[in-house]
Amino acid sequence: MKIAVEGCLHGEMDKVYDTIRHMEKVENIKIDLLICCGDFQAVRNENDLESLSCPPKYRSMNSFWKYYSGQEVAPVPTIFIGGNHEASNYLWELYYGGWAAPNVYFLGFSGVIKFGNIRIGGVSGIYKQGHYHLGHFERPPYNESDLRSVYHVREYDVMKLKDIKEPIDIFISHDWPVGIYEYGNSKRLVQRKPHFEEEIRKRTLGSLPAAELLNQLKPHYWFSGHLHCNFAAVVQHREDGSVTKFLALDKCLPGRKFLQIVDVNSDPGPYEIQYDEEWLAITRKFNSIFPLSRKTVHLRPEQLDKQDYREWVRNKLITRGARPFDFVQTVSPFDPSRPITRSSTSGHCRNPQTESLLQLLELPYLLDNVAEAGMPSQNPNFFNTKDAWNQLSDDGNSAEVGDVDELEELAEDEDGDA
């Protein structure tokens, strides 16, 4: 199976798909899947721009709306996670995962799916210690504070992933697992990104929960974005000797290393995205402690439903089928023939995909519950087909990373989020 991995998309779907078509032609290959590592920016219309956490001058429609409207169709199945620059109101509709557009699947705030016989897991957002133990209290329309916290990873979503027992082939996170730089060429990384040096010294560069997941799940591959550079590493786990190949990629800009092809051993195709049986069982098991409070939440295993739902879920999928529920538009897409008008009054919209999944699992709909949360407040593109891991020397040196450009620094959040 040939998988294209992309770093930070920033809404540039046309450019990435054009690059994939060019690579397929030049290399005489067929790419089976595209994985995007966050900052996807699934902006459907002007109102979604109000839920996009970035300086106003960088809020633009870009090209996702074409795929949401049906004007364009993704030429390759696409799976993505959320980062820290997202249309958070739309991703909240699909908290459990679902089609963001035809052939474009959001993995959810945390989630696992199957693509053929490959299990792909992921966690959306970035880690901020001050919000990690809170519930999901933010609701659209977001105020400025909530807009900047809704994408912060919560312990609840990580705890669900830690309950996974079966092997994961590929894992995706937006920010890097803390300490991953120790398994690659950190010297060269600091040469290219001098401002990383102090964070590396303090061990604050990256996500602690992601590092915990890396050590527990031990996936064959781990892909990340966020830091806008190309970096490869190989982690050998001490407990069992298994290996995780880590790769971080840049954002979609000309001259950047933002896309790479990875060959993954798999059964022959055809392939399609399907629900993962174990993950649906975990989703049902953990629903009883889904935290919606702004207060610190103390999650304990003894609070969980003790029933094993695997066989129950298996029977459900045998009856219904494992393909996710069909894509449904929930808002009118952007129309370039009309003047742009923005409004921040839009609240939460129930997505039929989410409702159908919850009905399948016989769970209540909680995403618009505010009882605990309080009321809400108002083609010259560069591509790299070489395997970065093959560029690792015996001492773990990684592939060369790209330079920092001025736009990257300007687009950073005021709190330092890349």
Number of domains in the chain: 1
Q: What is the pTM of this model?
A: 0.89
145: in domain:
yes
Give the model confidence (pLDDT) of 105-139 as tens digits.
Answer: 999 999 999 999 999 999 999 999 999 999 999 99
Check if the beta carbon of residue 388 is closer than 8 Å to that of residue 260: yes
317: in domain:
yes
194's CB contacts (< 8 A; 6+ apart) are none
Check if the beta carbon of residue 124 is closer than 8 Å to that of residue 82: yes
416: in domain:
no
Handedness of CA 10, 14, 19, 21 (dihedral sign): positive
| In the predicted structure, residue 56 carries a pLDDT above the cut 90 | no
In whole angstroms, what is the distance from residue 49 CA to residue 317 CA?
A: 37
Give the model confidence (pLDDT) of 316-375 as tens digits.
Answer: 999 999 999 999 999 999 999 887 666 545 689 999 999 999 999 999 999 998 744 444
418: in domain:
no
415: in domain:
no
268: in domain:
yes
417: in domain:
no
Q: Which domain holds residue 252?
A: 2-410
224: in domain:
yes
Largest CA distance in the chain: 59
**Single-letter amino acid code for the residue at 113:** I
